[in-house]
A and B are shown apart, each in its own frame.
Chain A
Amino acid sequence: MKTKTELIKFNQGLDLESGARLNTFDLMVETYGELNKDKDNAILVCHAFSGNHHAAGKSSDSEALGWWDEVIGSGKAIDTDKFFVVCSNNLGGCSGSSGPLSLNPETNELYGKDFPLVSVTDWVNSQKLLSDYLGISKWHMVAGGSLGGMQALQWAISYPNKLKKAGIFATATKSSTQNIAMNEVGREAIRKDKNFMDGDYLNHNVKPKSGLKTARMLGHITYSSEDIMDQKFGRKFQDIKSKIEGTVDYEVENYLQYKGEKFSDTFDANSYILMTKAMDGYDASFSSNGSLEEVMKRIKAKLLVVGFDSDWLYPPKRSKEIQLAAMNVDVECSLVVLKGEQGHDSFLFASDRYVSIIKGFLDSK
């Protein structure tokens, strides 16, 4: 699989939904496969909250496999022998695109907490500039799960003529009250970390690791489900040799400790707050006073909506809402509810039916 990672500069800038403006911005972009002559085999994948541009494969032994490696690659559901796959790190992220860890070109200082609020629509607008840069006038598909699925839906709404198909997985047209509540607990853990310093930790050479860790531990509970945790860990005790913390008794505790620790090493706290705020703030129907039908009737792309039955963060009923609104306004839209083995995270894994459905959707007229 031919993989390319590139930092692309956009000097035209971007007006954000909040009213703020980025006069210039960078996007860290990874691509897989090759763009054909007609430039009609391109697929844009949008990452979820903690993902980044590294969606598939690995470029060195030390690098981890991309977040959607089970789905993207040679012969996989999104086949890189056929398609040119593009994934960019969202603005406000912390993996190379402009965000709290970048230099503000106006002040020559790190943005830190002053990076402006970004939204799902802003990301879509920045990705539209990316498609212009790449010379892609119409995506064969834009797809993503969770927060990435919101971007795929928003693409279909914002740029109806710029994509043929949208794959909208494990997501909703807006975050639920419970989604916002969960995110707020995570943000509160970060804000109350003494190293957070009101978001100014970069200037003090510290990092609110403990807050980030707690936030991530809660996150992992919400991405899983009661049954899955039972199956995976049960009430098994952690063996003494591999305990991460002395206080750990059960395997599940060790797992959360490990995941939280790892995340707090790599993720930026201001990005965490920005990303979750973007997720909470998304409402596809916002511009039409709550009428989803009103915005969805612009859609020309064919939609594939997939929900997973073990997902309680964005459960199948939220997928059904998207399908019903599409049907109300004559948008072509299929809805499939899969048996997810991994709760909300199921969209990341290549179960047999998921793979054949994505393949079938990509191959269909």
Chain B
Amino acid sequence: MNTSLTNIIKKWVPEKSKVIDFGCGDGSLLKDLIDEKNIRGYGVEIDHNKIQECILKGISVIEKDIDEGIQDFESCNFDVAVMASSIQCLKEPHLALRKMLKLSKQCIVTLPNLGFWKCRLDLAQGRMPVTPNLPSSWYETKNLHLCTIKDFETLCFEEGFIINERFFLNDKGAKSAMASAFPNTFASEGIYLIAKK
């Protein structure tokens, strides 16, 4: 995860909160949040090597396929649930969001924007987009449900989620005036803090 993304997520996570990170990778984000914000953190991961790294870091990690059991944690009362760059890989992203907002007061979701101008250019040339945050070819990608910034915000509206914060990054992973002003075209990645009404 790039540093701007990590910094933004850190800003949004309250001190001493209880956090679950779906698709936590090697546990770096949770480790930072534990060290800097004194959170109680849990990660969910399926990749064996990444689980091993979490354990080495002393991060609590649960081996699980996110598609199969977000609802298992409903009793745990989280303050924040994080789903970084994974929502588009799930079988039913809208249901996953609903479930996450059942077990947690707020959700941080990051997603690649298919409306990014370089993606549009690739498509205009008749090819599937390959960009820094959509690096895989169509036959290798794990992404099942790519969407644009507009699509995602429409889904939030339809589902009755409030967008408390949003932030956009360009394809260098940095903040930019163009990405903030016209995210659907110039943001390569969107970061959202959402909650239920």
Contacts and interface: CB of A to CB of B under 8 A. Distances in A.
Interface of A: 302, 304, 320, 323-324, 327-328, 330, 332-337, 353, 356-357, 360-361, 363-365
Interface in B23-76: 40, 42, 48, 51-52, 54-64, 72-73, 75-76
A354 to B, nearest CB: 11
Given A327-B42, A334-B62, A335-B63, A361 B55 contact: yes
B52 A356 contact: yes
A302 B76 CA distance: 18
A357 to B, nearest CB: 6
10 contacts: A302-B58, A304-B55, A324-B76, A327-B73, A332-B58, A335-B61, A337-B63, A360-B52, A360-B56, A363-B56
Contact of A360 (B55, B63, B72): B55
B74 to A, nearest CB: 10
Contacts of B72: 320, 324
A302 B57 CA distance: 12
Contacts of B18: 330
Interface size class of B (residues with CB under 8 A): 20 to 34
Interface of B: 18, 40, 42, 48, 51-52, 54-64, 72-73, 75-77
A334 B56 contact: no
Contact of B63 (A327, A336, A363): A336
Contacts of A357: 51-52, 55
Nearest to B42: A327
A333 B61 CA distance: 7
A364 B54 CA distance: 9
B55 A327 contact: no
B147 to A, nearest CB: 31
A211 to B, nearest CB: 41
Contacts of B51: 336, 357
B56 A364 contact: yes
A324 B58 contact: no
Given A327-B42, A327-B73, A335-B63, A365 B55 contact: no
A365 B52 CA distance: 14
A328 B60 contact: no
Contacts of A337: 63
Nearest to B72: A324
A333 B63 contact: no
A327 B25 CA distance: 19
A365 B40 contact: no
Nearest to B44: A335
